[in-house]
């Protein structure tokens, strides 16, 4: 039996625990740590999973999933350092933090796998990218992929690409939410009730995403299919290009990538 402990039971940590349960793991195979007692009691009541201290998690678990905020990583690593060895697998869900950070702070030989998930994990539709550290074996990576497959889709990338992944899919849901928010406001500006505008745009987003996922058509082809000569859509596209929306999006994603790099360097 492989025991998995999630260190930090925020939204992502809870979503992973729920996904692992739905994927067939028993509550006895899972542990979590949580600083706030009321939150720990809530999760134990909801899922039947034991909340423990970090030391007990390190002692009992085969896999330690670190799901704390990047700025909170140092005390966690300081607590783990005397407790883990090469027999423990450490899985990092912390944006921007390289496997080399864990390998420096933890005993030699501890395998580390870096993961960049995103928040659709809470509805079982995450996009996660995994990268092994220098001590992680293909078996370690396969185990992490199996875990993450319970909450969405998984790809493996070289770690050098993780900052780009963080900017693109890690932060990606926020860009879509931002666009949907703006489109709902546009509907209200045009005289639609908010509830109607929300329904129109959210279902349009769901439908468009499903077309992208299921038709295998390039986004340009799908967009052109909506864009009739001298029609309403081409006029809207012209305005988007006039206002530099494409360039702004490219710049925004580059800025997110740069911030991910900064987070990693802050712990060098």
134 is in an annotated binding site: no
265 is in an annotated binding site: no
pLDDT tens digits, 63-81: 999 999 999 999 999 999 9
120 is in an annotated binding site: no
Provide the residue count of the chain.
268
CA angle 174, 13, 130 (to 5 degrees): 70
Flag whether the pTM goes above 0.85: yes
Give the residue-averaged pLDDT of 160-182. 97
Is the pLDDT at 267 greater than 80, yes or no?
Answer: no
pLDDT tens digits, 173-232: 999 999 999 999 999 999 999 999 999 999 999 999 999 999 999 999 999 999 999 999
Residue 164 CB contacts under 8 Å (≥ 6 apart), including other chains: 257
70 is in an annotated binding site: yes
Give the residue-averaged pLDDT of 41-70. 96
pLDDT tens digits, 79-111: 999 999 999 999 999 999 999 999 999 999 999
All domains in the chain, ordered by first residue: 4-157 (3.40.50.720), 171-264 (1.10.3730.10)
Find how far residue 161's CA is from the centre of its chain. 15
């Amino acid at each position: 039996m492989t025991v998995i402990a999630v260190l930090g039971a925020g939204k992502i940590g809870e979503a992973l625990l729920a996904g692992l349960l739905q994927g067939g793991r028993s509550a006895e195979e899972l542990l979590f740590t949580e600083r706030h007692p009321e939150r720990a009691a809530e999760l134990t009541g909801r899922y039947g999973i034991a909340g423990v201290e970090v030391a007990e998690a390190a002692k009992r678990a085969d896999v330690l999933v670190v799901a704390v905020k990047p700025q909170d990583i140092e005390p966690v690593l300081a607590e783990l350092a005397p407790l883990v060895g090469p027999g423990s697998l450490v899985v990092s869900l912390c944006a921007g933090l390289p496997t080399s950070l864990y390998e420096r702070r933890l005993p030699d030989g501890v395998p580390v796998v870096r993961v960049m998930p995103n928040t659709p994990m809470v509805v079982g539709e995450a996009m996660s990218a995994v990268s092994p550290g220098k001590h992680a074996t293909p078996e370690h990576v396969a185990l992490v992929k199996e875990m993450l497959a319970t909450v969405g889709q998984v790809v493996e990338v070289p770690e050098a690409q993780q900052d780009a992944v963080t900017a693109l899919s890690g932060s990606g849901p926020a860009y879509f939410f931002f666009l949907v928010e703006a489109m709902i406001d546009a509907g209200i500006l045009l005289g639609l009730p908010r509830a109607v505008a929300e329904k129109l745009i959210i279902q349009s987003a769901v439908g468009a995403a499903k077309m992208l996922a299921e038709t295998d058509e390039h986004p340009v082809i799908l967009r052109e299919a909506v864009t009739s000569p001298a029609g309403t859509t081409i006029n809207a596209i012209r305005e988007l290009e006039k206002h530099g929306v494409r360039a702004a999006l490219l710049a925004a994603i580059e800025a997110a990538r740069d911030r991910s790099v900064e987070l990693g360097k802050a712990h060098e």
